[in-house]
A and B are shown apart, each in its own frame.
Chain A
Amino acid sequence: MQPLDWFIVVISLAYVVWDGIRRSKNTHELEGYFLANRNLPWWAVGLSVMATQLSAVTMIGTTGQGATDGMRFIQFYFGLPLAMVILGVTLVPFLHKARVFTAYEFLERRFDAKTRSLTSFLFLISRGMSAGTIIAAPGVVFSAIFGWDMVWSVVLMGVPTILYTVVGGVQAVTWADVKQMGIIVLSLVAVVVVLLVKLPVPAGEALEIAGAAGRMRVFDFSWDFTKTYTFWSGMLGGTFLMLSYFGTDQSQVQRYLTAKSVDDARSSLLMSAYWKIPLQALVLLLGVLVFVFYLFQAPPLLYNPAQEARVRAAEPAAFAALDTRYRTAVAARESSARAVAKNPASGREAGRSAFRDREADVQAVRTEALALAERVTGQPSRDVNYIIPRFVLDHLPLGLAGLFLAGVLAAAMSSIAAELNSLSTATVIDFYRRWVRPEASDAHFLKVSKLATAAWGIFACIVAIYAATLGSLIEVVNRFGSFFYGSILGVFLLAMIPRTKSLGAFVGLLAGMATVAAVSFGAPSVSFLWHNVIGVVTVLVVGSVLSLGGAARTARSQP
């Protein structure tokens, strides 16, 4: 990273924060602070929805996954367009016309206060912890790459985000998201263009080589419930997951509650329906091209520089031996890759098969190196998250490394800001105003909202700093979160069925969570994407049966 790169990072961050705050109006009223007076244009809301979903993990982890695993992760998003259309005709009009601040507020109007409080509480637990992990994931990578203390990595992302979210509320978050989305797309496109220019083979040949290594395999039509990413888990499980996320998670619902009308809210969601799959294809393609790039350019044995230095110091002989074997295997793989690129039609299969064998040799040495790294450091390696940052720093021309880092920071900040904003809204509207001080003034709630935003921001930063120590706790919370995601969607769907009762909703929610927990522990191999389907179906069945039973009893007891 040269001074120009750092200049680009600082300027882009400062501009996003300043412009976000500058555009915030009427933030002295609660509705202006949390919902922008329901007056934002659909395209700004649509970009905000996309920026919220796209986190730094997408920029670092998903691109790395593209390099190691290819394009098949894209199946995860196959259900998204359908989910957006379904939400456009079901939940979006209900929530928008109800003039609510939070999605859970709607549940009290339809059912009762305890269903609202439970769903909002579940949201606060899971999103509170996930805000911390969203900061921690890129923070760990920055620390390893730049040698910073974890505290500074967290401060770099956390402090500006807390600042503009506290000062400008949802308007600052949305207008910052618009710019952040621009920086993210620009940085991704720039890196892909540079890769295409730097590759020693034309794009077609690069894809031919990637295809030979299995990186261009997109579809898996098998009905295997233990596989996470298949066409069916994406189309069915993915649809329910996206319905839950965009329809019932306050961090997303709050985005489209700021739209001017129901139609604007629908249009903002449809932007994701149109653009999410192409954008995700670009993200994964970037990773695939980095894989091809490292076939012709000596790749490091370990991509995490901090881990590499520790292993080299602790086990110099073992590391040197592995490195020598690695270099030999990489050289053999390069020649077979060139043979695949030439692609004589007669020997296509033989060439691809030889290349796959050489690739397996390289991966075998890498696996040994990763095991050694885990032994030395005592931590899982997660080397995949360092592939793209290492490529960016070692090979991108002046200015572009800064642009990509700005893109990663923009992705992190946009997700964190939406989470802090929605956590504060749920805390103040669903708990403080509902149970503690219902009679207080708007000015009082506004002050408490700003304090709540700052408090959640500080909490997220503390979780991020101690993420390594809290590792197992965070895993537990994430697993717990997967128990209720589909179940909460089930309650919202139940709310749209006439004559369903509050008892059915509450017991159905508990039954849904218990069923998913039982499946999760009883059959851990079942992919998490199916948990949402199980949760939704359980809540709908239990909730409907209890409501019908209640209705029958009521009818019988009437004279």
Chain B
Amino acid sequence: MSDANSETGPSRFRVTLFRVMLIQLLALLALWLLQTRYAG
């Protein structure tokens, strides 16, 4: 990939942000379920 690809920044950024935040939310949800199930 070249630097030229980064010119499409805003839309790529939105996709990346969405993906990272989705995975972050899933990770937090998994930790929350772990806490709810075992920490009581």
**A93 and B16: CB pair below 8 A?**
no
Residue interface mask A60-92, B partner, CB < 8 A = 1: 000000000001001000100110110011000
Bound-state Cα–Cα, A81 to B28, Å: 12
**A97 and B38: CB pair below 8 A?**
no
Q: Please pick, from B13, B23, B37, the residue contacting A88 in the complex, using a CB distance under 8 A.
A: B13
**B9 and A219: CB pair below 8 A?**
no
| Chain B contacts with A in 3-35, Cβ cutoff 8 A | 3, 5-6, 9, 13, 16-17, 20-21, 23-24, 27-28, 31-32, 34-35
Residues of B close to A208: CB separation below 8 A: 38
**B3 and A352: CB pair below 8 A?**
no
Given contacts A216-B35, A219-B32, contact A261 B20 (CB under 8 A): no
> Closest residue of chain A to B40, judged by CB?
A211
Is A113 engaged at the interface, CB distance under 8 Å to the other chain?
no
Residue interface mask A187-225, B partner, CB < 8 A = 1: 000000000000000000001101110101111000000
Q: How large is the interface on A (under 10, 10 to 19, 20 to 34, 35 or more residues)?
A: 35 or more
Is A263 engaged at the interface, CB distance under 8 Å to the other chain?
yes
**B16 and A218: CB pair below 8 A?**
no
Stretch from A2-10, A270-278, A307-315, A464-472 that touches the partner: A270-278
**A273 and B20: CB pair below 8 A?**
yes
| Chain A contacts with B in 109-146, Cβ cutoff 8 A | none
Q: How far is the CB of A361 from chain B (nearest CB, A)?
A: 21
Bound-state Cα–Cα, A88 to B31, Å: 26
**B38 and A274: CB pair below 8 A?**
no
> Closest residue of chain B to A261, judged by CB?
B3
Residues of A close to B24: CB separation below 8 A: 78, 81-82, 273, 277
Residues of B close to A419: CB separation below 8 A: none
**B23 and A261: CB pair below 8 A?**
no
Residues of A close to B17: CB separation below 8 A: 85
Of B13, B32, B34, which is in contact with the most chain A CB atoms at under 10 Å from its CB? B34
Is A281 engaged at the interface, CB distance under 8 Å to the other chain?
yes
**B35 and A263: CB pair below 8 A?**
no
Given contacts A89-B13, A263-B1, A273-B20, contact A211 B32 (CB under 8 A): no
Q: How far is the CB of B4 from chain A (nearest CB, A)?
A: 9
Residues of B close to A260: CB separation below 8 A: 1
Q: How far is the CB of B24 from chain A (nearest CB, A)?
A: 5
Of A84, A210, A216, which is in contact with the most chain B CB atoms at under 10 Å from its CB? A216
**A278 and B27: CB pair below 8 A?**
yes
